[in-house]
Amino acid sequence: MKNNLQILLKEDQNKKFFDLLARYYDKGIVGNWLFSVIEKTINSVNIKKSSKILDVGTGTGNLFYLLEKQNKNLNLYGIDISKRMLTIAGKKVKTAEFIKISVLLLEKKFPRKFFDYIFVIDAFHHFPYQKNVMSNFYNILKINGRLVITELDFGFIFNYFFHMIEPGNEWLYTKKELKNLFLETGFLIEKQKKIGTFAVMTVGVKYKNSKLIKNKHFRR
Ligand SMILES: C[S@@+](CC[C@H](N)C(=O)[O-])C[C@H]1O[C@@H](n2cnc3c(N)ncnc32)[C@H](O)[C@@H]1O
């Protein structure tokens, strides 16, 4: 079990890493590939007009850059710990509110049952207290709200290796582990599919009685 100091140090490591990376983030083969992962994620979710959307670990704002073009009158909120990533996001997307806070402070910042959708793209493996973070997502989503997590997945062994070498990597879940995490938190799985070779999208729905349904599921 990590103590608060270790958590703060890890967050600081992430902040410094992404502050350094910010100006290169959208460039090159990796930048293009990450952009295509976001495009494919959006194309797999049918977002309703006028929805309230939170992007956690929003980075340079590519998700909202693409959503803004859909003209759906969306309310867009992006949070991140890296000031430099957010500066780029702010230049790209004018209709979103970008806030520099940690994922750990979400419940302090937003009321319960506030969002229709929460997106987390290629960021979940950087978050501390991943199980608590999932519960916080659950709480700030409306009933019938969707949590969409798109994560890298190289399979257990290579995920572990990536965890060891990437700065600020807390834990990279496999497809199956992530599905179980959604179910344990109380979400129903609406969809889980591969996005290209090394990414998986999981969509969970917060149903009114989904905690109850989940318990039944585990008792069987
Ligand atoms: C790999 S980038 C992904 C950015 C964006 N979602 C995308 O797909 O382009 C991960 C982002 O998560 C952010 N991040 C890392 N730890 C965080 C935390 N504890 N709270 C909020 N954001 C965090 C980083 O600063 C970084 O911008």
Ligand 1 contacts CB of residue 127 (under 6 A): yes
User: How confident is the model at residue 47, as a pLDDT?
Assistant: 96
Ligand 1 contacts CB of residue 57 (under 6 A): yes
Q: Which amino acid is at 126?
A: H
User: How confident is the model at residue 213, as a pLDDT?
Assistant: 53
Please state the pTM of the whole predicted model: 0.92
- Would you list the domain boundaries of the chain? 4-219
Ligand 1 contacts CB of residue 86 (under 6 A): no
- How far is it, in rounded angstroms, from Cα 1 to Cα 151? 24
Closest CA to 177 of 115, 118, 134: 134
User: How confident is the model at residue 169, as a pLDDT?
Assistant: 83
Closest CA to 17 of 170, 167, 172, 152: 167
Closest CA to 134 of 179, 69, 74: 179
CATH class of 4-219: alpha beta
Specify the ligand 1 atom closest to the Cα of 38.
Answer: 8
Specify the ligand 1 atom closest to the Cα of 25.
Answer: 9
Residues 2 and 130 sit within 8 Å (Cβ to Cβ)? no
Residues 61 and 96 sit within 8 Å (Cβ to Cβ)? yes
Residues 126 and 156 sit within 8 Å (Cβ to Cβ)? no
Tokens 């979940």 label which residue? 124
Residues 53 and 120 sit within 8 Å (Cβ to Cβ)? no
Specify the ligand 1 atom closest to the Cα of 18.
Answer: 25
Q: Which residues of the chain have pLDDT under 70?
A: 1-2, 209-220
Ligand 1 contacts CB of residue 61 (under 6 A): no
Residue 157's region, left for phi above 0, alpha for psi from -120 to 50, else beta, is alpha
**Tens digits of per-residue pLDDT, 38-56?**
999 999 999 999 999 999 9
Ligand 1 contacts CB of residue 18 (under 6 A): yes
**Tens digits of per-residue pLDDT, 120-142?**
999 999 999 999 999 999 999 99
**Crossing angle for the helix pair 175-185 and 210-219, nearest 10 degrees?**
120
